[in-house]
Structure 1
Amino acid sequence: MRGLGKDKMPAIDPAGPRSTGKHFIRLRRAVKEFDNVWHDATNNVVSTADARKRLFEELLWEHRDLAEAHSKCQAVPEASIEALKAQLATLQAEKEQLAAEHHKVKSLVGELKEKLIQDERRHDQERKEAKAAAEAKLDETLKECADSIAVLRAELEEESGARNAAQDRIALLDAEQKEYDRLVVQTDALALRLFPDSQAHAHNIVAERRAAQEMANPDAPWDPYDHLVTLSARIQHMRAVDRHLVDLPDRAMEIFKELWPEEAVPVNVTLISDRLRDACRRIREWKCSTARAEADAALRVACSWYEDLDLDAFHSLRGDAPTETDPALTAKWQDRAYRIAECASTRTFIPPPPDVKDALSDEEEVEDEEDEEVGEGEVPPEAPGAGDAPLEAPVA
């Protein structure tokens, strides 16, 4: 062995013992390496030849173009050269003219530049003035805006106050409406107690109203307006039942004048009604007054005929008097008493003496007190929360 060869394989020493097969293998490997090197060299030569060929062709075409141009230049006549010189002179003159024009344009540009600078300065001045005017206008606008805002705030406060006042007014109206509804319901209940016969007519009126309005629930509890309708129906019904109710105030005034002739008639029916609560007692007082007037007439007749009559003896009724036991004397006594009674002044009320009290029985006084209690209890007391409770129709 002689180490490694070019192929990095162990190289066999030719001097050493080797076989023919090994020589052929080594020869084959060397031929293969030679083929690879030859192929690479051939490719390099071909590529170099192609590049040189393209370069030569390009140079050949350029040489041909130059030859044609040279031949054309050789063929130009002398006149053409003179024309070219003339054209060159013309072009030179045009160049000078263009230079002069360029100088003019340059001077014009300078003037324009100076004018532009002046315009720019004037524009800056105008811009500053416009800015100052705009700032002044802006300040004025801001001031007007502030004044407008103040006015709007004042109007807003005024409108807010008006809205609050309107809300208070609405709340007051709602409260008054509730109170009005409560009074309507209470008045209708009182009218029902005073005029129970009007309930059927009131029910019919409410039913007709609900049918005309096509209510979804005709049997719903009555609302305040229904009570107002029923109250109107009750009043109309009672007017239809008794047309003489309008004469009651006049009759009450006549009764008052008869019972209390020495007093002035009250200014309204309510005061007359309050005064007539004592009518029964006043009638009994009139009875006592009439008795005093008749007794006065009888004693006046007796005293006129018997001057020596002992008035102190007339303190009580004698039990064994003939006029009480004899029917004839009794009839005669009654006839004379009735005739004397015609002379008695019964139109004038005679009050009792200071030391005498009218003999009203205890039963009559109790009846008077009961009548007064019944008269005062005609208006039913209002239940707590009656204005807020749901309203129901009274039972027929």
Structure 2
Amino acid sequence: MTPATRGLGKDRLPAPDPVGDRSSEEHFMRLRSAVKELDSAWYDATNNLMLTADARKALFEELLWEHRELAEAHDKCQVIPEASIDALREQLTAAQREKDQLIRQHQEELSAHKTSYQELKSQLIQLGLDHAKALKAAEADAAAKMDEALEDASNATVVLRAELEELAKARKGAEEKAARLEEEQKECNRLVLQTDTLAYRLFPDSQRFAVKKVDERRTAQGQANLAVPWTPYDHLVALSARVSHMRAIDRNLSDIPDVATQLFRTLWPGEEVPDTFSLISDRLKGAGKRIREWQCSAAHAGADSPSALLAPDYLDEEEDEAEEEPLGDAGAGDAPPEAPAA
């Protein structure tokens, strides 16, 4: 171990290192580091010197070439004659005049362009004003049309609501009318059923004709089961058949009033015939008694009176039928036996 130093002092003597003693290896390491730093610094300095030299060389070459060009130009200027210089001056003067002329033309064109620009600007401003005015007019017109359209829409809405109310009223009226018609149809069906039942009770012999007509109608409509209860329309068909049957019988009974008149004149030859058939019928109800009186008188006077031609049993049967009570009113629920209540 040797005492560590920090180099030489002012007195040219080694200065001790306050850190402490160091070995030779450490000294060599420090020396090696210092040599490396010196080598790097030397390389950097050499590189900088070379770069500076190259830059100065390039600059010198450029200056040299410029000097050569200037020297050549100077030599050329030295050989130009005086006449050529005057011609160049004249050309320069002509070029200057042409330049001035071009400048004046340019100024004139620029002034014309400025004037045209001002005119175009004025026209553009006027067009802008006209466009703004037209736009305002169009907006006002559009607003008026919009208000008119809104008013028309409001009126149309009012009209539509009124029409809807009328349609609702009409629909309600139609529903009420339909309900009323349905009730009337039910009442009509009830009346048809009641009328058919009453006709059956008054004219029972017309039942087979009514059943035949109803079966024919059902067969024509393709109904397979004929035993189902009659509908109101079936009762209406049956009633029509009964009326047709009664009309046929009525045509056969049209001679009854004349026969009754002749019978009245025969039984009561001295009396005047009543004016109505009902009075004649009331008198004929006592025909049996009148004939029995004639029979009693005929036993003494002989059978040469008209009463001998009449059958006493037949007259007694008519008198018994006349004394029977009339038929009562038919109920609404009574139906023919062949036609169960619907």
TM-score scaled to structure 2, two decimals? 0.54
User: What residue in structure 2 maps to residue 248 of structure 1?
Assistant: 249
1:114 offset after TM fit, Å? 3.5
Shift of 1:167: 3.5
Letter in 1 for 2:284: W
Is 1:380 the counterpart of 2:333? The answer is: yes
Deviation of 1:102 after TM superposition, in Å, equals: 1.1
2:110 to 102, 105, 113: 102
Q: Specify which of 83, 87, 92 is matched with residue 95 of structure 2.
A: 87
TM-superposed CA distance for 1:94, in Å, is 0.9
The one of 110, 113, 119 equivalent to 1:111 is 119
Cα distance in 2, alignment partners of residues 166 and 208 from structure 1: 34
Equivalent residue in structure 2 for 1:162, among 156, 170, 173: 170
User: Given the alignment of the two structures, is residue 206 of structure 1 paired with residue 218 of structure 2, yes or no?
Assistant: yes
Distance 2:71 2:307 in 1: 188
CA distance in 2, matches of 1:23, 1:207: 146
The answer to whether the Cα contact below 8 Å between 2:197 and 2:330 also exists between their aligned partners in 1 is no
After TM superposition, list the pairs within 5 Å mapping 1:43-192 onto structure 2: 44-45=44-45, 48=48, 52=52, 59=59, 63=63, 70=70, 78=85, 83=91, 86-177=94-185
Aligned-residue offset at 1:34: 3.2
SS of residue in 2 equivalent to 1:380: coil
Q: CA separation in 1, counterparts of 2:229 and 2:29?
A: 128
Q: CA deviation digits over 1:233-291, x for unaligned, max 9?
A: x689x79xxx96542224556557849985757xxxxxxxxx9xxxxxx67x7343552
**Which amino acid is 1:336 matched to?**
A
SS in 1 for 2:286: helix
Q: 1:377 to 1:37 in 2, by over 3 A?
A: same
Q: CA deviation digits over 1:69-93, x for unaligned, max 9?
A: 7578655875667645543442332
TM-score, normalised via structure 1 length: 0.48
Residue deviations 1:141-189 (CA, integer Å, cap 9, x gap): 5445544444444444444433433343344444445555666777888
Structure 2 counterpart of 1:112, one-letter code: L
The aligned counterpart of 1:30 is 30
* Counterpart code for 2:173: A
8 A Cα contact 1:188 1:230, kept in partner:
yes
Q: Which amino acid aligns with 2:37?
A: V
Give, as a single letter, the amino acid of the residue that structure 1 aligns with 2:99: L
Give CA deviations for 1:1-34 in whole Å, capped at 9, x if unaligned: 999x9xxxx95425xxxxxxx432x145325533
- Which residue in the other structure is 1:317 paired with? none
Partner residue of 1:286 out of 284, 287, 293: 284
Q: How many residues align?
A: 291
Structure 1, unaligned runs of 5 or more? 15-21, 212-217, 266-274, 276-281, 299-329, 344-359, 383-392
Secondary structure at the counterpart of residue 93 of structure 1: helix
Return closer, same or farther for 1:47/1:207 CA change in 2, 3 Å cut-off.
Answer: farther
Distance apart, 1:98 and its partner CA: 0.6
How far apart, CA to CA, are the structure 1 residues paired with 2:42 and 2:229?
125
Matched to 2:248, the amino acid is D
Matching of residues 321-340 of structure 1 within 5 Å: 334=299, 336=301, 338-339=303-304
Bigger drift between 253-262 and 243-252 goes to: 253-262
Answer yes or no: is the 8 Å Cα contact 1:206–1:230 preserved in 2. no
Retained in 2: the 8 A contact 1:185–1:227?
Answer: yes
Contact 1:192–1:198 under 8 Å retained in 2:
no
Gap change, CA 1:335 and 1:190, over 3 Å in 2 = same
Name the SS of the counterpart of 2:327 in structure 1: helix
Task: Give, in whole Å, the separation in 1 of the partners of 2:333 and 2:274.
Answer: 35
Pair 208,120 (structure 1): closer, same or farther in 2 beyond 3 Å:
closer
Q: What is the Cα deviation at residue 49 of structure 1?
A: 6.1
| Cα separation, partners in 2 of 1:171 and 1:151, compared to 1, 3 Å | same
The CA RMSD measured in Å over matched residues stands at 5.8
Report SS of the residue matched to 1:372.
coil
SS of the aligned residue for 1:99 comes to helix
Do the aligned partners of residues 73 and 151 (structure 1) sit closer, same or farther apart at CA in structure 2, a change above 3 Å counting? farther
Separation of aligned partners in 1, 2:71 and 2:186: 129
CA offset digits 1:203-240 (Å, max 9, x no partner): 676366347xxxxxx7799698x7746964x689x79x
Distance 2:226 2:98 in 1: 121
